[in-house]
Amino acid sequence: MVNIIKERRARAIDIDLRSVIPLSSPKIINVSMVLPRAPKALFFDVFGTCVDWRTTVTDALELGSHRALDSAEKSLSSAVRLKASDMTYEDWGKLAQEWRNTYKRFTKSLADDPSLHWKTIDDHHLDSIRELLVDWKLEGLWGDEEVRALSLVWHRLNPWLDSAPGITALNKLFQTATLSNGNFSLLNDLTAHAQMKFTHIFSAELFGAYKPSPTVYLGAASALHLQPSDCAMVAAHLGDLKAAKSHGMQVIYIERPREEDWSKDEVEQAKRDGWVDLWVTSEEDGFLTMAQKLGVKLDEEMLKGFRAHSDPN
């Protein structure tokens, strides 16, 4: 099993290491911290934490359907045409959620059993949408190349409004890095699309495993020549944070709409237990609030403009 992980890591580095942003020296910070100790690096989950995958993917599915139905060049079966015509935006949202759920099952299975055949997230997204289209009786709505193009929607997910300015602000005091199960090409495209200027791009692919494998969290800290306790994991999913915490990292929870898999009772219990080091609620300003609480001085005019844009009422 150890050899399998080493082979995966070597393959990932050989293929994708050039896409990692070069490492810089850790910044020296001296600020009043709300965390147990001042972190030198912040690692960010991406899907759901930094980007609103649900809206982007649902929009892409619905728009693609309209284009297929309106195309004079397509010859759709009556059954597929009827099925697609009857789909509401909420239905496409359910399909998007099922697609996301396949990702969660897939990454967990490889994290639990490293002997399983390795597959990138791009490959999984393509294989799983093909299967879902069959399950939903939508096979044939799009041709092979259209399905392949659709599967790459995960490369261009739109960010939450606070993500780009918040990450830029956090860069003033910390090293910031993605720590996502997404493959390197996906993350490079996604961070460029969303204008999220992380100081480093780390993919679980680099470590030959998927979160919540300890190999990913410990490997990320090691790549920056840091101890896990010098790092903080940032995520909108308590399961991700619980794993990072168990391997010595500090953890920061960012509430995002409909992202938490834990039940309401489990979330409340996590609050009472107090193992989350910093908790940013949905009523606050996401990464911008996080930056302020970590000692970053933000421009008040920028904050006013952000709040006016995010809540025009």
The total number of structural domains in the chain stands at 2
What digits encode the pLDDT tens for the residues 109-148? 999 998 999 999 999 999 999 999 999 999 999 999 999 9
Instruction: Answer yes or no: do 138 and 233 share one domain.
Output: no
pLDDT at 173 over 60: yes
Q: How many CB atoms neighbour CB 40 within 10 A?
A: 21
Measured between alpha carbons, how far is 308 from 313 in angstroms, rounded to an integer?
A: 8
Q: How many CB atoms neighbour CB 310 within 10 A?
A: 13
C-alpha distances in Å from residue 8, one per residue of 15, 88, 207, 302: 11, 41, 7, 44
| Average pLDDT of the residues in 49-70 | 98
Measured between alpha carbons, how far is 19 from 137 in angstroms, rounded to an integer?
A: 38
Instruction: Answer yes or no: do 43 and 171 share one domain.
Output: yes
Q: How confident is the model at residue 24 (pLDDT cuts 50, 70, 90)?
A: very low
Helix/strand/coil for 82? helix
Measured between alpha carbons, how far is 20 from 202 in angstroms, rounded to an integer?
A: 7
How confident is the model at residue 310, as a pLDDT? 73
| Average pLDDT of the residues in 216-234 | 98
* Dihedral of the alpha carbons of 245, 246, 247, 252, in degrees to the nearest 10: -10
Instruction: Answer yes or no: do 203 and 235 share one domain.
Output: yes
Looking at 155, 173, 198, the residue that finishes a domain is 155
Reported as type and span, the H/E element at residue 280 is: strand 278-280
Token reading at 180: 């996502």
How confident is the model at residue 17, as a pLDDT? 39
How confident is the model at residue 69, as a pLDDT? 97
Backbone angles phi, psi at 145, to 5 degrees: -70, -35
Instruction: Answer yes or no: do 268 and 169 share one domain.
Output: yes
Instruction: Answer yes or no: do 71 and 39 share one domain.
Output: no
Q: What is the separation of C-alpha 257 from the centre of its chain, rounded to a whole number of angstroms?
A: 14
Instruction: Answer yes or no: do 179 and 31 share one domain.
Output: yes
Looking at 155, 189, 224, the residue that finishes a domain is 155
- CA angle at residue 154 from 241 to 216, to 5 degrees? 35
pLDDT at 12 over 50: no
| Average pLDDT of the residues in 195-210 | 97
pLDDT at 26 over 90: no
CATH code for the domain of 257: 3.40.50.1000
Measured between alpha carbons, how far is 137 from 139 in angstroms, rounded to an integer?
A: 6
Q: How confident is the model at residue 267 (pLDDT cuts 50, 70, 90)?
A: very high
Instruction: Answer yes or no: do 139 and 43 share one domain.
Output: no
Measured between alpha carbons, how far is 240 from 116 in angstroms, rounded to an integer?
A: 21
β strands within 122-272, DSSP E: 175-180, 200-203, 231-235, 250-254
Instruction: Answer yes or no: do 166 and 108 share one domain.
Output: no
Instruction: Answer yes or no: do 42 and 92 share one domain.
Output: no
Measured between alpha carbons, how far is 202 from 178 in angstroms, rounded to an integer?
A: 5
Instruction: Answer yes or no: do 94 and 151 share one domain.
Output: yes
Q: What predicted TM-score, i.e. pTM, was given to this entire model?
A: 0.90
Q: What is the separation of C-alpha 92 from the centre of its chain, rounded to a whole number of angstroms?
A: 20
| Range of the structural domain that residue 148 is part of | 54-155
Instruction: Answer yes or no: do 73 and 8 share one domain.
Output: no
How confident is the model at residue 55, as a pLDDT? 98
How confident is the model at residue 7, as a pLDDT? 52
Looking at 106, 138, 155, the residue that finishes a domain is 155
Instruction: Answer yes or no: do 14 and 132 share one domain.
Output: no
